[in-house]
Structure 1
Amino acid sequence: MSGALNGVRVLDLSRVLAGPFSTMILGDLGAEVIKVEAPGGSDDTRAWGPPFKGGESAYYLCTNRNKKAITLNLKTEEGKAVLKRLVVESDVLIHNFKYGTMEKWQLGYEDLKKLNPRLIYCSITGFGSTGPYKELAGYDYIIQAMSGLMSITGSEESGPLKVGVAITDVITGLYAVIGITSALYERERSGEGQSIDLALFDSAVSALVNVASNYLISGQLPKLLGNHHPNIVPYQTFPTKDGEMVVAVGNDRQFKKLCTLIGKEEWAQDERFATNDQRVRHRYELEALLSEVFKQKTAAEWRDLLNQEGIPCGPINNMKELFHDPQVAAREMVVSMQHPTAGDIRLVGSPLKLSRTPVQFRCPPPRAGEHTREVLRDLGIADREIEALKEKGIL
């Protein structure tokens, strides 16, 4: 069975998270992805642990399946020459070197499009190729702080907090997939490649969505609301008899149903709570009233009652609870693969469910340089030349 991106070859010069996450998605969709690292392996996440299994870090394993791995010293002319031969036969190149690095090596877009005018060239940096911050390094934590994400995450008691995963890397990785697949689609019409200038900072700013719009329209700085929503009430956590749960009432109709369910129909008629606009203005009064009600039953009891009435709610799962949830199994969101050194590994599956060209999990995350000989042979490079390159430290 062929994947949606079968026949597309991607050169992945990225490391850590945003780039490798995007190329894993492309690989899941059928693209041939060749991961290029410096000799010995230069993806920092190979050493980010514990936990490790069979010498492989869990962090590295999470974003590198469905790839072949080669090693090349791109600081040498021989290494650049090999990469350029790969570029001629590839559709996409993606990297996340610091601004100006690839150009310094004569491997920038303007250099490589001369070899392959159809090349899609995606550059991921912290702040992009323009602006006063273009030469600064970009790390997710810093981007979360500078983009405003931390200023709206947390509560007045906690102060600003980062999100529990490197969310700006994840968002940027998704934007990279969108940009690359869009450029591939456009190439079918024009026959030409193009460059994609993608910044973690820009991606994080775009993720502010309604909160950014609230500020741009009103001019008012958002407050730290913790588990509250800035525009919808009640849309938050509530204490129950045995712990907290989330209740997400998205409109006035659902609020009326909630009031009926808990035997407080009069609250739906109260001018303080009758409309979402008023509930937002009187959020703390309503929260105090609802909290006393939700404390009377367990989270499971409330979940059954609320679900029966179509009122959105959910438990606050930890990792163990999540991966024992039957919905995770039903959606095949955990996959098992056999790794040559780590043995049986369990990885998060793909959320993409394509009906005719489903994603496939063809090969486990590769060891550094695992496929160097195979890939170079396919380029027509003889074994004796490969050995000579190894001896010189090029591979």
Structure 2
Amino acid sequence: MKSKVAPLEGVRVLNLGGGWAGRVAAMLLADQGAEVLEIKRPDRECRLEDALLERGKAVVTLDFRDTHGRERAQSLARGADIVIDNLGPGRAAGFGLDDRSIRARNPALVYVSIPGFAEGSPLAHTAAWEGTVAASVGVYTDIHALGPLLGGPPIFTAVPMASAYGGVHAAIAAVVGFAQRLKTGRGERIEVPLADAVLSAMALLIMKVDGQPRRFDLPPIDKAMTEVAFPILRQFHDEMSEEQHGRIRGYLATFGRPQFGNHRCSDGRYIFINAVDHVHHAKACLEVLGLLNDLIAEGMTVGSPYEEGGEGNNISYSAGLRPAWVARLKSAMSARFLTKPAQEWEGLLRKAGVPATVVRSTDEWLDVPEALAGGNVADLEDQEYGPVRMAGRYVSIEGSAITSPALRSRRMTDRFEWSTPRLQVAPTAEPPGKMLSGLRVLDLSNVIAGPAAARILAEFGADVIRIDPPAPQAGPRMTMWFGIDVNQGKRAIVLDLKSAEGRSVLEKLVRQSDVVIHNFLDRSAEKIGISDQQLRQINPDIISCQVSAWGGPHGGPFKDDPAFDPVLQAATGITQRYGTKDAPVLHGIASCVDYITGFSAALGIAQTLVSRQLGRGGAHVRTSLSMGAQLVQFPFTVASERAARIAEPSGQQAAGYGVHYQTYRTRDGWAFLACRARELGQVAGLLGATEPTEGALSEVIAGMTCMQAADCLRSIKTASIVPVRRLDELRACATLEKSEQFQSGEQHLAMLRTAHPSGYQVSLPLPTWYRLQSKAVEPLSAAHAPGSHTRSVLAEFGLSDAEVDGLLTRGVARESWSILKHYLPH
């Protein structure tokens, strides 16, 4: 029997070193068997997260300032398939390692550049620290659910969203670029700006649907309050007393959702539940608590989450509950949770299919036995730190000829040569098109992660067909409102896969497709005929992808439990770090875990596509929210007895990592200062501070505008101070009316406002996180309502008009959801 190979075996990757994002990208390629050489500066400080970031790589130490070091790096680049540049603006060119210099000798090279801000944009030459990028795109103002309403000082987060999301996007760009090279023999330069990468995660926070129904506002309060009163209150935030702030928070609490959030249990621990906007979850949660019958007797009902209007008493429509019912639910649920310990409630709720978790720290998550059993976390022997507990492989791929390799420790080496023969590619005369043109994808997933994976493939030109069931279980926020973003670029059909006839139609689609994506649990997938084994019997070369909630590389005891982004935040330490142990705080809606999980799935599909193009066949791709939750906080998902992790600023009062790296108040607003710790004295002197202390710096910066402070620091290339921006400010200056107005060399972010099938004007980010040298950034088609393309798609797959009519008559196929009266229910 022929042994299996790794999906990316034979692919050579050179990471020029630099920041976290490039190292994350290279790690994700090494995890799938690519030969990765990573260059390390001689003066780079060693830290515990290196054991994670450098796993599977050969690490060489080179000084680019030395002629010999530059020549060795240039020689390696000339033999590479992929080069990743995260060195900073203009630095690679100064060392002869830019794409033009390398591709002159290696024209088939895929070169991925990861600047902080897009080249040619106003911020292009700004020293782009992690915090600098985050401050510039609303992370410190809009991640907190009430931040956009209440204003106040920025809230720092240690979660490295720029590097995590930038790293995943860079890995996708590299692999998709290499897939194109395998077809055409042509190389490509792709730019992945970190600010744009963060915006890809913030899409649902910055998205604007003009005049949308109030139920989709967060919180769902009167629009006169959100559009008039709160903007005024935000301006006077600092002048208001704590009592006044408390009254405002009390008002907002009346619009809370007790079925979504933290509840203290008998042991003092918190349980987090996410039982809203769903056909079954709210009812099941109250049944487990023993409250459902009493609440119904008192006047509550169990209706549809798609209900419009109503009496404000529908348990399944949480955003529509009257304040009195919100208060009643909160009181009853809080009292009941205090009767058992958190771990017991977690077991009871999950057994009933309710997304729930004990709120844990990251250290506690790393020690969960079930996480170790599933491979969600793993132990790896490191040559410097000994046994290191870390996140497991983020994406797992298994096919008849390929398998993801076991995790491998990093290897320090002084060999400056490639160990594998270079893959030979014959150029073709294939006409230029989008990178994934001709790839057909069936998307059976819902909510965010799976749909986001399919949308990424659409951004590269894949033909994506969304298949919805006749009766959705998730509510309208998760299907329709989220879908405005994640279902762009897709055609939409409705098909009943619970019927034998519907499954027969699906077989026809699968035979003529390349990829199937879903987020069903194993047992549910098998019932409707989309398990990997069932799909492979229909189409042996199919690439199937499952996005689960808890599944690890080995599956694990949690793999059949449902969950959503906020649940995994709570389970893995994110909410505790953003808040405290006694007051965990949600780190954004969807912008933390969901999108990075979906993008990881897209990466796995692209890696499998490369393997298939190399003659290794199709395969099954798996990832989960539990893996995405660890990837987004990668520096903290490591533990060793020999070394401590980097510091973890936490809580709602956090300003940064220290005097040299934190938020400051300026004369015209808030700003974020970042520099090397050793440069603080020089920075303080240039700003006119009497000493390099927080007090002295705060005093002098408060008397300047942000621009004046930035002008003072221009002589230090590695220091910057930038305004802390809110997302509404970004949207106001970045929104275009026509995509043709976007100039990639002048803007570092862009949004497009257009008429939408929902009947509203919608503003969404343009996909500027991938900037190809050979292609302009283009918008995707809008997300249409379920079933909008049922008739035309089925005809395209060879069904006659009579056959389609019959399917529609029998309800096997449909052209709409009967439960959906409006695209966005009122």
Superposition TM-score, scaled by structure 2 size: 0.41
> Is 1:165 paired with 2:585?
no
- 1:251, CA displacement in angstroms? 4.7
Selected match of 1:339 from 749, 756, 759:
756
> Is 1:114 paired with 2:521?
no
- Are residues 103 and 359 of structure 1, via their aligned partners in 2, closer, same or farther at CA, if it must alter by over 3 Å? farther
Write the letter of the residue equivalent to 1:160.
Answer: P
| Unaligned stretches of 5+ residues in structure 2 | 1-431, 737-741, 814-826
Q: 2: CA distance between counterparts of 1:244 and 1:332?
A: 20
- Are residues 303 and 57 of structure 1, via their aligned partners in 2, closer, same or farther at CA, if it must alter by over 3 Å? farther
What is the match of residue 349 of structure 1?
Answer: 766
1:128 match: secondary structure: coil
Q: 1: CA distance between counterparts of 2:516 and 2:641?
A: 36
> Is 1:59 paired with 2:482?
yes
What is the match of residue 697 of structure 2?
Answer: 290
Q: 1: CA distance between counterparts of 2:470 and 2:481?
A: 21
- Are residues 22 and 202 of structure 1, via their aligned partners in 2, closer, same or farther at CA, if it must alter by over 3 Å? same
Q: 2: CA distance between counterparts of 1:192 and 1:148?
A: 38
Selected match of 2:667 from 241, 246, 263:
241
- Are residues 70 and 216 of structure 1, via their aligned partners in 2, closer, same or farther at CA, if it must alter by over 3 Å? farther
C-alpha RMSD of matched pairs (Å): 2.8
Selected match of 1:378 from 780, 787, 796:
796
What do residues 236-287 of structure 1 show as CA deviations (whole Å, max 9, x unaligned)? 111233432211224524x2431221234864xxxxxxxxxxxxxxxxxx33
- 1:152, CA displacement in angstroms? 1.9
1:235–1:247 CA contact under 8 A, matched in 2 = yes
Superposition TM-score, scaled by structure 1 size: 0.83
What is the match of residue 650 of structure 2?
Answer: 224
Q: 1: CA distance between counterparts of 2:762 and 2:504?
A: 36
What do residues 318-370 of structure 1 show as CA deviations (whole Å, max 9, x unaligned)? 22211234699624621244434526532211121112244533521112111
> Is 1:126 paired with 2:552?
no
- 1:105, CA displacement in angstroms? 2.6
Q: 2: CA distance between counterparts of 1:359 and 1:108?
A: 35
1:127–1:200 CA contact under 8 A, matched in 2 = yes
- Are residues 345 and 224 of structure 1, via their aligned partners in 2, closer, same or farther at CA, if it must alter by over 3 Å? closer
Selected match of 1:8 from 423, 439, 455:
439
> Is 1:86 paired with 2:515?
no
2:803 match: secondary structure: helix
1:307–1:313 CA contact under 8 A, matched in 2 = no
- Are residues 337 and 67 of structure 1, via their aligned partners in 2, closer, same or farther at CA, if it must alter by over 3 Å? farther
> Is 1:322 paired with 2:746?
no
> Is 1:209 paired with 2:609?
no
Selected match of 1:364 from 775, 782, 787:
782
1:106 match: secondary structure: coil
2:752–2:764 CA contact under 8 A, matched in 1 = yes
- 1:4, CA displacement in angstroms? 0.9
1:337–1:363 CA contact under 8 A, matched in 2 = no
What is the match of residue 720 of structure 2?
Answer: 312
Q: 1: CA distance between counterparts of 2:606 and 2:588?
A: 29
Q: 2: CA distance between counterparts of 1:164 and 1:388?
A: 45
2:579–2:585 CA contact under 8 A, matched in 1 = yes
Q: 2: CA distance between counterparts of 1:369 and 1:214?
A: 48
Write the letter of the residue equivalent to 1:65.
Answer: Q
1:85–1:379 CA contact under 8 A, matched in 2 = yes
> Is 1:394 paired with 2:815?
no
- 1:300, CA displacement in angstroms? 4.4
The percent of aligned pairs where both chains have the same amino acid is 30
2:684–2:697 CA contact under 8 A, matched in 1 = no
- Are residues 211 and 359 of structure 1, via their aligned partners in 2, closer, same or farther at CA, if it must alter by over 3 Å? same
1:247 match: secondary structure: strand
- 1:211, CA displacement in angstroms? 2.5
Write the letter of the residue equivalent to 1:13.
Answer: L
Write the letter of the residue equivalent to 1:162.
Answer: L
What is the match of residue 37 of structure 1?
Answer: 468
What is the match of residue 17 of structure 1?
Answer: 448
- 1:132, CA displacement in angstroms? 1.7
- 1:119, CA displacement in angstroms? 0.9
Range that drifts further, 9-18 or 324-333: 324-333
Range that drifts further, 256-265 or 176-185: 256-265
1:153–1:162 CA contact under 8 A, matched in 2 = yes
- 1:219, CA displacement in angstroms? 5.0
- Are residues 359 and 188 of structure 1, via their aligned partners in 2, closer, same or farther at CA, if it must alter by over 3 Å? farther
2:656–2:663 CA contact under 8 A, matched in 1 = no
1:215–1:222 CA contact under 8 A, matched in 2 = no
Write the letter of the residue equivalent to 2:477.
Answer: W
What is the match of residue 302 of structure 1?
Answer: 709
Q: 1: CA distance between counterparts of 2:506 and 2:532?
A: 13
What do residues 59-103 of structure 1 show as CA deviations (whole Å, max 9, x unaligned)? 321111110001001111111111111111111111112342102
Write the letter of the residue equivalent to 2:584.
Answer: P
- Are residues 348 and 38 of structure 1, via their aligned partners in 2, closer, same or farther at CA, if it must alter by over 3 Å? same
Q: 2: CA distance between counterparts of 1:147 and 1:2?
A: 41
Q: 2: CA distance between counterparts of 1:258 and 1:332?
A: 29
1:240–1:299 CA contact under 8 A, matched in 2 = yes
1:3–1:358 CA contact under 8 A, matched in 2 = no
- 1:184, CA displacement in angstroms? 0.4
Q: 2: CA distance between counterparts of 1:300 and 1:216?
A: 45
Aligned residue pair count: 366
Write the letter of the residue equivalent to 1:29.
Answer: F
1:260 match: secondary structure: helix
- Are residues 201 and 353 of structure 1, via their aligned partners in 2, closer, same or farther at CA, if it must alter by over 3 Å? same
2:443–2:464 CA contact under 8 A, matched in 1 = yes
- Are residues 222 and 331 of structure 1, via their aligned partners in 2, closer, same or farther at CA, if it must alter by over 3 Å? closer
Selected match of 1:188 from 607, 613, 622:
613
2:470 match: secondary structure: coil
1:33 match: secondary structure: strand
Write the letter of the residue equivalent to 1:48.
Answer: R
- 1:203, CA displacement in angstroms? 1.5
- Are residues 342 and 57 of structure 1, via their aligned partners in 2, closer, same or farther at CA, if it must alter by over 3 Å? farther
1:323 match: secondary structure: helix
Q: 1: CA distance between counterparts of 2:473 and 2:714?
A: 45
- 1:149, CA displacement in angstroms? 1.4
2:547–2:622 CA contact under 8 A, matched in 1 = yes
Q: 2: CA distance between counterparts of 1:260 and 1:66?
A: 52
Q: 1: CA distance between counterparts of 2:639 and 2:583?
A: 21
- Are residues 85 and 216 of structure 1, via their aligned partners in 2, closer, same or farther at CA, if it must alter by over 3 Å? farther
